[in-house]
A and B are shown apart, each in its own frame.
Chain A
Amino acid sequence: MARILINLPKAKRGEIVEIRTLIQHPMETGYRPKGDGTSFPRDIIRNFVCELDQIEIFRADLFPAIAANPFIAFTVKAEEGGTMTFSWIDDLGMSQTETVDFIVE
């Protein structure tokens, strides 16, 4: 399991908060030569999805030009609190999900 960092601040109703996420992943581009004429096979995080109580609030399609350990920050307007899920999906379709309570006061 890759290490995940999430910064989801508590929010007041109506406030816009910044959510920061990072997953430790090499984002192997597929272009890095092994030295024998071939390259290290591509292995990247292809999608990132953030949902609040199963409703998508943000999604990203990533390409090899995203740096290793992809960092993604975005905002959400706090209306209702709930369960926020963060999922990262790699080239093989494998996903890793993290869940955090979103507290709105």
Chain B
Amino acid sequence: MTGRSFQPKLSRRAVLTGCLALIAARPARATTEAMRDAIRHFTGSAEIKAGRVKMDIPPLVENGNSVPLAITVESPMEKDDFVQAIAVFNEKNPQPNIGIFHLSSRSGRAFVSTRIRLGDSQNITAIAQMSDGSFWSGSVELIVTLPACAEN
């Protein structure tokens, strides 16, 4: 029972590739300010009210390469009162934008689900643009870890 021959041959590189790709994928980082600017670009000068937007995302993420995100907005989704668009932003990826989803009264529900990349623990914000021109927002804070044993 010895560890004689196999350990030295183990390739560290294989373990690291997954994580490195992600870490290296953020030479420049968006910032809270960049996120704020991107949000302003989406909303213009309109007031943004907190509420009505619910985000469903795992609070602890072990692989930032693919994080499930579902957003629902409180809205009757009828002809004269519906969610026109939902935009999602992050504060630490190289770019503050994640996606903009355009809905209509035909959607039935104000719902969208996707999978996103997150290089780090951070705050994610979603803004809903209503058909009456108002904007509503919701945020979540999540933790991203990258255990080497979990994926390579």
A and B: direct contact (Cβ < 8 Å)? yes
CB distance from A61 to the nearest CB of B (A): 4
Residues of chain A having any CB pair with chain B under 8 Å: 16-18, 29, 31-33, 52, 56-68, 70-77, 79
- Beta-carbon contact of B99 and A66 below 8 Å: yes
- Beta-carbon contact of A75 and B114 below 8 Å: no
Instruction: Identify which of B2-10, B23-31, B138-146 touches chain A.
Output: B23-31
A residues less than 8 Å from B49 (CB atoms): none
Q: List 20 A-B contacts (CB under 8 A).
A: A16-B108, A17-B108, A32-B25, A33-B24, A57-B104, A57-B106, A58-B107, A59-B101, A61-B100, A63-B95, A65-B95, A65-B97, A65-B98, A65-B99, A67-B117, A71-B113, A71-B115, A74-B111, A75-B107, A77-B106
Residue B102 at the A interface, CB < 8 A?
yes
B residues less than 8 Å from A73 (CB atoms): 70, 111-114
Tell me the bound Cα distance from A66 to B124 in angstroms: 13
Residue B127 at the A interface, CB < 8 A?
no
Tell me the bound Cα distance from A29 to B24 in angstroms: 11
Chain B, interface SS category: mixed
- Beta-carbon contact of A65 and B117 below 8 Å: yes
B residues less than 8 Å from A60 (CB atoms): 99-102, 112, 114
Closest to B110 in A: A75
B residues less than 8 Å from A29 (CB atoms): 25, 94, 117
B residues less than 8 Å from A17 (CB atoms): 108
Closest to B112 in A: A74
- Beta-carbon contact of A58 and B67 below 8 Å: no
Interface string of B27-67 (1 = CB under 8 A from A): 11000000000000000000000000000000000000111
